Chain A
Amino acid sequence: MGFLTYLINGLSLGSVYAIIALGYTMVYGIAKMLNFAHGDVIMIGAYVVFMCMSNSGMPAVVSIVISIVCCTALGMIIEKIAYKPLRKATNLAVLITAIGVSYFLQNMALMIFGSNPVSFTSVIKWQGIALAGGALKITGNAIITIITCVVIMIVLMWFVKNTKPGQAMRAVSEDKDAAILMGINVNATISLTFAIGSGLAAIAGALLCSSYPSLTPYTGSMPGIKAFTAAVFGGIGSIPGALIGGLLLGIIEILAKAYISSQLADAIVFAVLIIVLLVKPTGILGKQIKEKV
């Protein structure tokens, strides 16, 4: 029973990583840049949910919708102000800018919310289910997180494959210049990508803080790095890759903690990453999937 509990906890943690990793992987696929501010958008999203729910007493669903709207707007504004002027600059310049934006968001949050941690009330009221006569207890948080992750993946893959904007995304990710020649509005497509990634960050923030209920301005940075790792692990630029990378990372992390050493868990996760990248430098799904989005 212990093993099953760990597995479900790992899937739940991995699902959060996967949703965050989507933000990294989509932006990388289309704009060819690493948006290191993504983790901090998650933190802002979580604060918006907290303010709506705990301070203003709004229902959880309304709070999450408000948070998605705020984060989507934030993501588009960041893209417009910080990244768009650098579209022709070197990758390194964009990377440094992203790190700058990340610190800017953290310091903004420090100024507005202060650095005292707040205890986040779970957006999921459901207590979960007990199986096998109570020996296996699955929390509502875990179930909802896993389901949300799967639904988001399915919708996103459908969107990219079957809609006009989705096709535009695939075209831009394959060849930006050719896409312009074909009459695709590249700027609008990149904006849309940021909007979707940041909207997902809001959901990730709410789910992350529901399971691990402490919120500070630095909450987003460590999960952000882990999710970035997951994106690379699964093959950066690939949507199913983000799902597989995220889930594997979560499961490895929890199982390493459970069966090897709770102190060495992070080291083991990154050791596995190094081995995978040695064998398959593009990540697990890095090559098979041609449609990078």
Chain B
Amino acid sequence: MKKKALSLALCAAMAASLFVGCGGKEGAATGGESVDTSGELTWRVGGIGPITGGAAQYGQGVMNAIQLAVDEVNEAGGINGYKVSFNFQDDEADQQKSVNAYNTLKDWGMQILEGTVTSGAGQAVSAETYADRMFMLTPSASSTDVTNGHDNVFQVCFSDPNQGAVSADYIADNGLATKVGIIYDSSDPYSSGVYQTFAAEAQAKGLEIVATEAFTADSKTDFTTQLQKCKDAEADLLFLPFYYTEGSIVLTQANQMGYTPTMFGVDGFDGLLGVENFDVKLAEGVYLLTPFAADADDDATKSFVSKYESQFGGTPNQFAADAYDGVYILKAALEAANLTPEASSEEICEALISEIQNVTYDGLTGEGMTWNEKGEVSKAPKAVIIKDGAYASVD
């Protein structure tokens, strides 16, 4: 009898632990859901991104910024006279969880997806949206694998080839280094994508790549060997196309080794300063790419940053800015298509695919943005440097 009671208790504990993950998700959904009372007809915009896990700062930035923009749009009378409801689901930057989140949103009645935040998840979800004919505008999934062959997927951020090429150009044109070492994540499409275009452009620009080292998702905590090889090859600049979590480890281990090359990350390094308990002094002088600098002094940026800071606390990053622009891009395209929320998601999708290519949009992350049929945006990334514990524009 005693044993039975014990095993029952254990079963209950096991079952409870299964729901742990879901608990977070439900909380997040209600956190991100805007007013949808009285059964009034609204645009149903869904969002997917990591609000927990290793890339959480991106997802949280995106979720908050979309909410901010949706509130603004609703206050100003909505889109074509209809308000927008917004529902955001967590995917922890995981492909499977992202598809699950997408299905949850479809059950909720989503008509347009503004997501995903990361490229790996975007690959999985874009295949689904393509099959379902659901319009997808990703604020920050920069891999071309997300848009390739999917006519319904558009990006607000610049794409990986763009990032790799711009980084190489920037390093060469500004004479930052002569010998370049590269460390990249060979198990991640985003990281390998940026690496490939960087290597090609660096060669064209006459930069000497003295070391190319890889790591995988299973071994992303020990970079001492890769760093040592770069050090032995006398690389005076390290190109690091991956996310900030691994970035913080690389900086810590390089410091322990006493190796101090110029560190050059791409947009994945945005968020580095927000890693819990990370010594930000180590990030001093790190370069990264972004289309958005929170310290810019144009009115749009100032108003966005101050609203974001007062509502959510903390300075918005480029992902937040991309997501904020995304809402207004959708608004512009929907107004051009002259649609109402009565249209099905398929109808909206077909209309937006043609309309978004006629839209020219001035936003926080670029002037005169336009889109081609491949889903790419026409804007160039800018380099920023970390100075005194904050991001600062360099040019």
Q: Which residues of A are interface residues toward B (Cβ below 8 A)?
A: 2, 5-6, 9, 13, 50, 54, 81-82, 85, 100, 103-104, 107-108, 110-111, 114-121, 127-128, 130, 137, 139, 141, 211-214, 216, 219, 222, 254, 257-258, 261-263, 265-266
Taken together as a complex, chains A and B put the C-alpha atoms of A114 and B221 apart, in Å, by: 19
A81 near B10 with CB under 8 A, answer yes
A137 near B20 with CB under 8 A, answer no
A116 near B56 with CB under 8 A, answer yes
Chain B residues, Cβ within 8 Å of A212: 221-222, 249, 253
B226 near A117 with CB under 8 A, answer no
Q: Is B38 an interface residue (CB 8 A)?
A: no
Cβ-closest chain A residue relative to B274: A116
Taken together as a complex, chains A and B put the C-alpha atoms of A247 and B17 apart, in Å, by: 36
Question: 10 A-B Cβ contacts within 8 A?
Answer: A2-B228, A2-B229, A6-B228, A111-B20, A114-B52, A115-B53, A116-B56, A211-B222, A254-B225, A262-B215
B229 near A103 with CB under 8 A, answer no
Query: Quick one: which of B151-180 are within 8 Å of A by CB?
Result: none
Chain B residues, Cβ within 8 Å of A114: 52
Q: Is B277 an interface residue (CB 8 A)?
A: yes
Cβ-closest chain A residue relative to B244: A117
Most B-side CB within 10 Å, residue of A9, A103, A119: A119
Beyond the given pairs A5-B228, A107-B17, A119-B279, 9 more chain A to chain B contacts, judged by CB atoms under 8 angstroms and listed by A's residue number, are A111-B23, A114-B52, A115-B56, A137-B257, A213-B252, A222-B219, A262-B225, A262-B229, A263-B186
Chain A residues, Cβ within 8 Å of B186: 263
Interchain CB contact (< 8 A) of B20 among A107, A213, A257:
A107
Chain A residues, Cβ within 8 Å of B10: 81-82
Most B-side CB within 10 Å, residue of A110, A116, A212: A116
Taken together as a complex, chains A and B put the C-alpha atoms of A41 and B245 apart, in Å, by: 23
Interchain CB contact (< 8 A) of A262 among B14, B213, B278:
B213
Chain A residues, Cβ within 8 Å of B229: 2, 258, 262
For the complex, count residues of B whose C-beta is within 8 A of A. Answer: 45
Taken together as a complex, chains A and B put the C-alpha atoms of A212 and B223 apart, in Å, by: 8
Q: Is B123 an interface residue (CB 8 A)?
A: no
Given A110-B21, A117-B54, A85:B3 Cβ within 8 A: yes
B56 near A120 with CB under 8 A, answer no
Taken together as a complex, chains A and B put the C-alpha atoms of A219 and B277 apart, in Å, by: 17
Q: Is B232 an interface residue (CB 8 A)?
A: yes
B214 near A262 with CB under 8 A, answer yes
Cβ-closest chain A residue relative to B60: A116
Main secondary structure of the interface of B (DSSP, over half): helix
A9 near B225 with CB under 8 A, answer yes
Q: Is B76 an interface residue (CB 8 A)?
A: no
B216 near A263 with CB under 8 A, answer yes
With both chains docked as a complex, state the minimum distance between the C-beta of B365 and any C-beta of chain A, in angstroms: 25
B278 near A266 with CB under 8 A, answer no
Taken together as a complex, chains A and B put the C-alpha atoms of A214 and B215 apart, in Å, by: 16
With both chains docked as a complex, state the minimum distance between the C-beta of A120 and any C-beta of chain B, in angstroms: 7
B275 near A119 with CB under 8 A, answer yes
Taken together as a complex, chains A and B put the C-alpha atoms of A130 and B224 apart, in Å, by: 16
B256 near A141 with CB under 8 A, answer yes
Closest 7 CB pairs of A and B: A212-B221, A119-B278, A107-B17, A257-B225, A263-B214, A115-B52, A119-B277
Chain A residues, Cβ within 8 Å of B218: 222, 266
Q: Is B300 an interface residue (CB 8 A)?
A: no
A107 near B21 with CB under 8 A, answer yes
Main secondary structure of the interface of A (DSSP, over half): helix
A104 near B17 with CB under 8 A, answer yes
Chain A residues, Cβ within 8 Å of B249: 119, 212-214
Chain A residues, Cβ within 8 Å of B215: 262-263
Taken together as a complex, chains A and B put the C-alpha atoms of A123 and B219 apart, in Å, by: 22
Interchain CB contact (< 8 A) of B277 among A9, A103, A121, A222:
A121
Q: Is B92 an interface residue (CB 8 A)?
A: yes
B92 near A115 with CB under 8 A, answer yes
Query: Quick one: which of B79-137 are within 8 Å of A by CB?
Result: 92
Q: Is B395 an interface residue (CB 8 A)?
A: no
Interchain CB contact (< 8 A) of B257 among A13, A139, A263:
A139
Given A258-B229, A262-B226, A265-B219, A216:B54 Cβ within 8 A: yes
A257 near B226 with CB under 8 A, answer yes
Given A139-B257, A262-B214, A263-B216, A214:B226 Cβ within 8 A: no
B20 near A110 with CB under 8 A, answer yes
Taken together as a complex, chains A and B put the C-alpha atoms of A263 and B187 apart, in Å, by: 9
Chain B residues, Cβ within 8 Å of A119: 248-249, 252, 275-279
Query: Quick one: which of B246-263 are within 8 Å of A by CB?
Result: 246, 248-249, 252-253, 256-258
Interchain CB contact (< 8 A) of A139 among B54, B214, B226, B256:
B256
Contact mask for chain B residues 1-14; partner A; CB cutoff 8 A; 1 contact, 0 none: 00100110010011
Given A6-B225, A13-B222, A100-B14, A116:B257 Cβ within 8 A: no
Cβ-closest chain B residue relative to A256: B225
Taken together as a complex, chains A and B put the C-alpha atoms of A117 and B249 apart, in Å, by: 11
Interchain CB contact (< 8 A) of A137 among B17, B216, B245, B258:
B258
Chain B residues, Cβ within 8 Å of A128: 256
Taken together as a complex, chains A and B put the C-alpha atoms of A105 and B186 apart, in Å, by: 30
Interchain CB contact (< 8 A) of B216 among A213, A258, A266:
A266
Chain B residues, Cβ within 8 Å of A82: 10
Given A104-B14, A110-B21, A114-B52, A258:B252 Cβ within 8 A: no
Cβ-closest chain B residue relative to A127: B256
B214 near A103 with CB under 8 A, answer no
With both chains docked as a complex, state the minimum distance between the C-beta of B96 and any C-beta of chain A, in angstroms: 15
